[in-house]
Amino acid sequence: MENCVFCKIINGEIPSEKIYEDDDFIVIKDIRPVAPVHLLAIYKPHVATINDLSIEDSQRMWRLFEVVKKVSKENGIESYRIVQNNGKDSGQEVHHIHFHIIGGRKLGPLG
């Protein structure tokens, strides 16, 4: 989708530190990390939020857990948090589904 930062990263128009890619996901380093390891697993099709997922998309997205397992291990984090924001009040900045994988230090409470 035009003017979507993550679509541009996926198609190579904007550079990123890519650490993994397959047919469904790309995993990059977050440009503003909040912890020593802060990765973004981005679902390739442009879907804004979980509320916008089709059945086919949500079925395809189950593979996310395999991707998370692989990249967390490869980046040396055994304990980590996954954060996924949907919509304005959650603080979602980029309206293209993505999962933050955050670790490498003791994390504070949620909220």
Q: Which residues are near ligand 5GP by CB under 6 A?
A: 5, 14, 16, 28-32, 40, 85, 91-94
Indicate which of ligand 5GP, Zn ion, none lies near residue 32 (CB less than 5 to 8 Å, by partner kind): ligand 5GP
Pairing between β-strand 98-103 and β-strand 18-21 as defined by DSSP bridges: unpaired
Q: Which does 4 bind (CB under 5 to 8 A by kind): Zn ion, ligand 5GP, none?
A: Zn ion
- Minimum CB distance to Zn ion, residue 98 (Å): 9
Q: Is 98 a catalytic residue?
A: yes
- Edge-to-edge strand list for the sheet holding 80-83: 18-21, 25-29, 37-43, 98-103, 80-83
Distance CA 5, CA 100 (A): 16
Give the residue numbers annotated as catalytic, written as ranges: 98
